[in-house]
Amino acid sequence: MINSVIGFLIALMVGLTGIGGGSFTVPALLLIVGMPAVEAVGTAFIFAAVLRLIAAPFYVLTGGVHSRYLRLLLLGAVPGLVLGMIALRSLSNSAGSPFVVIILGVLLAMSSSVTFIPRAQNAHFVHKNSRWLPWLALPIGIESGFSSAGAGALGTILLLNYSEMSPSQVVGTDIVFGLVLAIIGSAVHWTLGTINTAVLLQLLAGGVPGVVFGCLMARRIPARKLKPVMAVIAICAGLQLVWSGASSFNAKQAAKSARLAPAAAKVSRP
């Protein structure tokens, strides 16, 4: 039951703002369900792919996707996604991996705060410097491959504050952007067998109606009100990732201390 509730709430945010597919799902699976990191990322990829597949037509059919910016984002993000998944496989048991999640959370929370600082925004940046979009999308792809987070949250904040698009068009473009990355990531994790099917089905039981409801609500919310909502959700996602990374690091340190304790006891015996 709890997994279905989690799925509904996350899907509601995805349909409404394009944010939350990985940024909230992975921490929830790690902290609440107790899944291993690689399995949590793989399950989150499939979950995010299904949600975005349902949400995409709501925006595509109404012209809410900027095709040129989408192509430029994917040009940089897809190679980054591959690099991120390779890093996940090699560092999944490393004590340093939680720090990557913490760094992402800090960056996401700080970048989202720009939404409330008008002087720090530049709505014409992407239009005048579109050649930089693939390079800006590269680290987003790397982080998405490593933790399944970032494609929705970081992509949305980038387009929201530094492009001329309306909030609804930002959501539509980012949902399709995240959909492509989620499909690629899902295919890789499916072949590797890092998917928890039982948990995935429970998430989708709440997620499918949640994303539809979110997409329908997005049409009724004025654009000027949608922008701060998206920023607040992204800030919450960033703080959630910081908490997830810190909890994961503390858990690893505790496990390490537990392993070393018997050895230390033997050495201290006369």
Has residue 202 been placed in a domain?
yes
When divided into structural domains, the chain yields a total of: 1
Q: Is the dihedral of CA 206, 212, 215, 220 positive or negative?
A: negative
| 30-36, Cβ contacts within 8 angstroms, sequence gap of 24 or more | 30/244, 30/247, 30/248, 31/243, 31/244, 31/247, 32/2, 32/6, 33/3, 33/199, 35/196, 35/199, 36/92
Whether residue 249 is contained in a domain is answered as: no
CA 158 – CA 133 distance, rounded (Å)? 10
Residue 19 Cα to chain centre, angstroms: 7
pLDDT value for 202? 93
Instruction: Give residue 153's domain range.
Output: 2-241
Using CA atoms, how far apart are residues 91 and 82, in angstroms rounded to an integer?
14
Q: Which of 34-48, 82-96, 213-227, 248-262 has the highest mean predicted lDDT (pLDDT)? A: 34-48
What is the Cα–Cα distance from 161 to 152, expressed in whole angstroms?
A: 14
Tokens 């999640």 label which residue? 101
The reported pTM is 0.72
DSSP 32-43: II---HHHHHHH
In a domain? residue 251: no
The percentage of residues in the chain with a pLDDT greater than 70, rounded to a whole number, is 80
Residue 95 has pLDDT above 50, yes or no: no
Residue with tokens 């473009």: 173
Distance between CA atoms of 4 and 6, rounded to whole angstroms?
A: 5
Query: Is residue 56 assigned to a domain?
Result: yes
Tell me if 228 sits within 8 A of 31, measured CB to CB.
no
* Rounded-to-10 torsion of CA 48, 52, 53, 57: 170
In a domain, 16, yes or no: yes
Q: What is the pLDDT of residue 54?
A: 92
- Residue 267 domain-assigned (yes or no): no
pLDDT in tens, 173-211: 888 888 888 888 888 878 877 788 999 999 999 999 999
Quick: pLDDT tens for 234-270.
777 778 778 877 877 787 777 777 776 665 555 555 5
Asked if the structure places residue 70 within a domain, the reply is yes
Per-residue confidence at 150, pLDDT binned at 50, 70, 90?
low
Answer yes or no: is 270 within a domain.
no
Residues 17 and 159: their CA atoms lie apart, in Å, by 12
* C-beta of residue 244 within 8 angstroms of C-beta of residue 27: yes
pLDDT at 208: 94
* 126 vs 236: CA distance, rounded Å: 25
